[in-house]
Amino acid sequence: MESDALPQREITVNQIVAWWLAHYRREAGLTQAQLGDRLGWPQHRVSEAERSWNGKRTREFDAHTLAGLALALGVPIAAF
């Protein structure tokens, strides 16, 4: 019955943060450029951070960055 098994994929905490980053940005009605302005990042850096959820090129989010993201998006740090 192994042929019926679902494919497995390892997902990192950083990929989960990237997914939630894109989700909360859209929920807040912000463009990547607007969020970048709040963070002091160029738009392409926000885009790269969001796209890192797919695992091809991952970004590591440290505690300082998580705090900044939470503040900029108006969500608690634990939301990530």
| pLDDT higher than threshold 90 for residue 78 | yes
Read off φ and ψ for residue 45, nearest 5 degrees. -70, -40
Over residues 25-49, the mean pLDDT reads: 97
Per-position b or e across 60-70, b if 16+ CB within 10 A of its CB = ebeeebbebbb
Q: Model confidence at 58, in pLDDT bands (50, 70, 90)? A: confident
The three-point CA angle 22-18-35 to 5° equals: 45
Over residues 2-29, the mean pLDDT reads: 88
Q: What percent of the chain has pLDDT over 70?
A: 95
Task: Give the model's pLDDT for residue 11.
Answer: 84
Single-letter code of the amino acid located at 3: S
Task: Give the model's pLDDT for residue 71.
Answer: 97
